[in-house]
Structure 1
Amino acid sequence: MIFNNISEAEKDPILGLTEEFKNDLNSKKVNLSVGVYQDDKGNTPTLPSVTEAEKEILNQNISKTYKPIDGDKEFTEKSIQLVAGEDLFSEINNTSFGLNTPGGTGALRLASDFLFQFSSKSKVWISNPSWPNHKPIFEASGFKVDIYPYFNNESNSIDFESLTSTIKKIPKGDVLVMHGCCHNPTGEDLKAEQWDEVSDIAKSNNLLVICDFAYQGLADGLDDDANGVRKMIRNLDNLIICTSYSKNFGLYSERVGCLIYNSKNESNCAPVLSHMKKTARSNYSNPPAHGSEIVKFILSHNSLRDKWKEDLNNMRDRIKNMRKLLVKELKNKGCSKDFSFIERQKGMFSYTGLSKDQVNELKKNNSIYIVNSGRINIAGLTTTNVEYVANAIKDVI
């Protein structure tokens, strides 16, 4: 039997660390690996706006029957509106559609499986570095995956010249994966004029862009964070956007995402949607409903939407404050390395530049858990553990 000859798979580079963390008996242990927002007490609370929406939904006694393959129409429309903004949404209403998916990962996998059916010889290009799950997702569909330069470890900034010179050479018809905001793992985002240039290159080279947009609202705000994505909507002939509501709504376990497709050619929409639905049917059949009902309800009621924006602002402000506090503590400890770049980075993550050996030393000596790339989850820091973390980092530098 085949089961007798199967060896254990490697642990997930992020979730595997969480398992180790749970088994660690050190009372001072700190988990900075997994991408989950935590408050200053180290908890991941349900947002007040979400709690209020759930109570209202419960009172409505909504049926638990299957949703359509592409999900609730009102939810997908609200998702497109959130990404595009009201003005742009009115322009693309007839040239775009959405599918409710099991999280942002589900949206990416659906896009990947769909594209491989029609463009199996294309290659997928992801940033170096990128979210560790990007490569396995596209490879699982059958794609070959390559990388384009993104981050300069010496300057701790985007290597835009190398980025653009590489994507100019990508063969026509290949797939380019971009991070919409809060680049994971670096926290370094493109400037407005850089988005323009990348968009122009993608259009002239006939590249299909997939925009992974998992953190809208956690960098500078809902509209500011969407500027790059909106530029691509306006400029590109075809665009796939994969959104997630795990972070900005705190709906991690509900698995709420949306795949959005926009085309300059309205006649593309019906056949593309039909094949995406066919692909989804053989994958997960239809999406989970509870999380999307929450998102739809909040985005449909102005008072709750305002409360959600306040919740989002509070999360974003705490993350920014922890960035400042970590940089301050590292400086006060007399750390030999300048970590001021951490304050400039956006979103939940920071690319610290710590080596694999330094990361292992932090885990071994201090029970501080960081992924091997040196990426830390800023939202895992609190006012009570940041000094401990800063002191430990100083000791391994």
Structure 2
Amino acid sequence: MPRMILNETSYFGAGCRSELVTEVKNRGFDKALIVTDAVLVKSGVVEKVTKLLDEAGLAYEIFDKVMPNPTIAVVKEGIETFKKAGADYLIAIGGGSPQDTSKAIGIVINNPEFDDIRSLEGVAPTKKPCVPIIALATTAGTAAEVTINYVITDTEKRRKFVCVDPHDIPIVAIIDSELMASMPTSLKAATGMDALTHAIEGYITLGAWELTDALHLKAIEIIAKSLRASCAGKPEGVEGMALGQYVAGMGFSNVGLGLVHGMAHPLGAFYDTPHGVANAILLPSLMAYNAEFTGEKYRDIAVAMGVKGVEAMALEEARKAAVDAVQQLSIDVKIPTKLTEVGARAEDIEALAEAAMADVCTGGNPRPAKLEDVKDLYRALM
């Protein structure tokens, strides 16, 4: 049965981080643990938030040990830091990694029986909502601030595992494009293609339905219009990407994804490949692989991507037009085209494919995937 789980409250627009103080006071919170990374602290992005807390006399401590592809060890350290700080809520400042780390911390604090972290994989039977999280996004891609998903890296086993839990969604999301404006161009490109992958996979996943279809098509349209401009440093592009990635998150969080994410997660675990880059390299090939199992949906994607004359095309031509439009966008924002460019090795294909087949996202793929298919897909992109 379809369902929709979203934040209690979300704010949008340049400067909307000012609403943080109102939310904290109205909810009666006492002390925050801010979960972020050292780069955002050093660059001054975190200060744009802490300044508001300081001016309002609100207490907080900062945990800035998060790194890309956050690990079990970092989550455990964050849990101990939260306890020692005497905090009663979390403020997540960052992209997917700080957001995911916050979710894992918040879940375990209120559900300590999962303190091994690995047992959170999949749909864990947690009983209590996580510690309240107020999420401030600094990248336009992951949409982690609006999803019920998070991803943790198990370095010991060289794998990433996906956790899906309605109890982990932040109660408040703040989508302030001013916090995203200082992203390096390469990060804007990678996170933007991550957002596009969310929208496209969410649109064709087996769980898709009318409401999420509407969200995903609109997200594709916004992203296709905004990503190039965002990478060029234009404020309207950054603002558009801030909205587009959130709209995609509203959809895919509630219906799942597919094989692109299933194959991207092992690349992050094996080589620390940025998630958006992995998705972007894989997306066109996986779209071609899935095409015959998507009905008319690629025609809709091509229209949303801005391709002209799609309505008059034969179905096969329209499908190719959708794939080509996605490929061209990826090229225009300078995403690598081969997995070897991000360190992937042919001798790892067997292990990568086995990990992809075990990934929770793979089950939503419209075309049933076989192990040999996945090997061939990796091999073709080496």
TM range (shorter): 0.3 to 0.5
Give the TM-score of the pair, scaled to structure 1: 0.34
Give the TM-score of the pair, scaled to structure 2: 0.35
Structure with the bigger RCO (C-alpha within 8 Å, sep 6+) is 1
